Amino acid sequence: MRISQRAERIEPFYVMEVAKAAQTMAREVAHTDRPMLFLNIGEPDFTAPPLVQEAAVRAVRAGATQYTQATGLSELRERISGWYRQRFGVEVPARRIVVTAGASAALQLACLTLVEAGDEILLPDPSYPCNRHFVTAAGGDAVLVPTTAAERFQLSAEKVEAAWTDKTRGVLLASPSNPTGTSIAPDELRRIHEVVTRRGGVTLIDEIYLGLSYDDAFAQTALAIDDQVISINSFSKYFNMTGWRLGWLVVPEALVPVVERLAQNLFICASTISQYAALACFEPESITEYERRRAEFKARRDWFIPQLDALGLKVPVMPDGAFYAWADCSGMAAKLGVSGSWDFAFEVMKRAHLAITPGRDFGTADTGRFVRFSTASSMAHLEESIARLRALAA
């Protein structure tokens, strides 16, 4: 059967390929004194808090399970708008918010709305692989621009200007970023947007980890810059609702009918039960719990990264958000007699029963010597992971 060129251009999601190998080994060592520990997947170990769970049950029992509008429940769009007002001091009208089937659907809708075949979209290298694949699936070309630790592994206005060509349509950024957990300084983001606007392009920014910011200098939404910025967000990370598949997209008002038309055809709507449940995310009791969990994520970061550094797994930039550590494994890999983060990850999996993510997914700019640790796991698991790594390094 003939496969489309579009599908052929999409690379495997290596994070999940490694996860499959880890699950296979986990079954083999499940009954030993060292079961598999998973620091590879970017999924909070917390689940939706009680009010959210109860709201989902009420929706089911009330029969509130039929289609909503393609743009989402009006009450939920209003709640999200209120969250921007209360959390960030930014007015984002509900009419500009489109509720989506996860941030993945938001990214797909944004790319299908704005990207023509042959258009180039600039992304930082390293960056989350699926973001560039959404560009590819829309017929565009994702252009990875190498970044450095000195740049916080983020694009700068200077680099955007230098990389811009006649084919460039815009930029797709992430702040905080996966895999580095670093954000773009607001002043630099403003300069990037000025370059993009002057060139007649579009600024798309993935803000799914914005709620998990730990530094007030970076904890600002790009929507404060200009109402032409397009923001992608999600209930998965800060709101701990990964499997509920719910996100949202904020677009300029003129684009709402276009996005709505695409959403009607591609998705009909996001999960109705998830939408009713998400209304409870914004209750004071839920926000208090989310803030407690955010403090826990920060405490894990503050303990875990110095431990990695002490082992020679250097994290060149302290993440200011999310729950990742982007660590240079080249020194420890040499100690273990392997080369590169791919072989290092499998060696650690085999010898320490610890699953981590090699840098292969995230780009080509020196990513072969980096691994990503996820600290979205309990402190007990993080402590045991460090103990196993320390034993390996001895």
pLDDT at 18: 84
Q: Among 189, 180, 185, which residue's Cα sits nearest to residue 149?
A: 180
**Percentage of the chain lying above the pLDDT 70 cut:** 100
Report pLDDT digits (tens) over 159-168: 999 999 999 9
Query: Average pLDDT over the chain, rounded to whole?
Result: 96
**8 Å CB contact between 351 and 329:** no
What Rg, from alpha-carbon coordinates, does the chain have?
21
What's the CA gap between 81 and 72, in Å, rounded? 13
Q: Which of 368, 319, 334, 79 is closest to 213 using CA atoms?
A: 319
326 contacts 161 by C-beta, under 8 angstroms: no
Question: Residue 47 and residue 375: Cα distance in Å, rounded?
Answer: 15
Q: Assess contact for 97 and 77: CB atoms under 8 A.
A: yes
* Least confident range of 6-20, 43-57, 80-94, 127-141: 6-20
157: amino acid identity, one letter = A
Q: How far is CA 277 from the centre of its chain?
A: 22
- β-partners of residue 250 are 97, 231
CATH 3.40.640.10 assigned to 50-283 = yes
User: Rounded to whole angstroms, what are the CA distances from 188 to 133, 154, 217?
Assistant: 25, 10, 12
Q: Please write the tens of the pLDDT for every residue from 161-216.
A: 999 999 999 999 999 999 999 999 999 999 999 999 999 999 999 999 999 999 99
Residue 351: its pLDDT value, please?
Answer: 95
The pLDDT of residue 13: 79
What is the pLDDT at residue 369? 95
| Domain residue extents for the chain | 5-47+286-393, 50-283
Sign of CA dihedral 187, 300, 40, 335: positive
pLDDT single digits (tens) 40-89 = 989 999 999 999 999 999 999 999 999 999 999 999 999 999 999 999 99
Tell me which residue of 128, 73, 131, 137 sits closest to 278, measured CA to CA.
Answer: 73
For residue 11, name the pLDDT band (cuts at 50, 70, 90).
Answer: confident
pLDDT tens digits, 239-257: 999 999 999 999 999 999 9
Instruction: Supply 313's token pair.
Output: 């797994």
Q: What is the pLDDT of residues 362-377, one digit of tens each?
A: 999 999 999 999 999 9
Q: What is the pLDDT of residues 226-235, one digit of tens each?
A: 999 999 999 9
Distance between CA 170 and CA 26 in Å, rounded? 42
Whether the per-residue pLDDT at 15 is higher than 90: the answer is no
Tell me whether domains 5-47+286-393 and 50-283 share a fold.
Answer: no
Query: What's the rounded Cα separation, in Å, for the pair 207 and 224?
Result: 13
- Supply the pLDDT for residue 83: 98
Respond yes or no on whether the N-terminal peptide bond of residue 176 is cis (omega within 30° of 0): yes
pLDDT for residue 151? 96
Cα–Cα distance for residue pair 316/149, rounded to 1 Å: 6
Q: Does domain 5-47+286-393 have CATH number 3.40.50.2300?
A: no
Judge whether 357 and 372 are in contact, CB under 8 Å: yes
17 versus 124: the higher-pLDDT residue is 124
Tokens of 281: 């995310």
Q: Is the per-residue pLDDT at 394 higher than 90?
A: no
Of the candidates 89, 177, 85, 176, the residue with the CA atom closest to the CA atom of residue 127 = 177
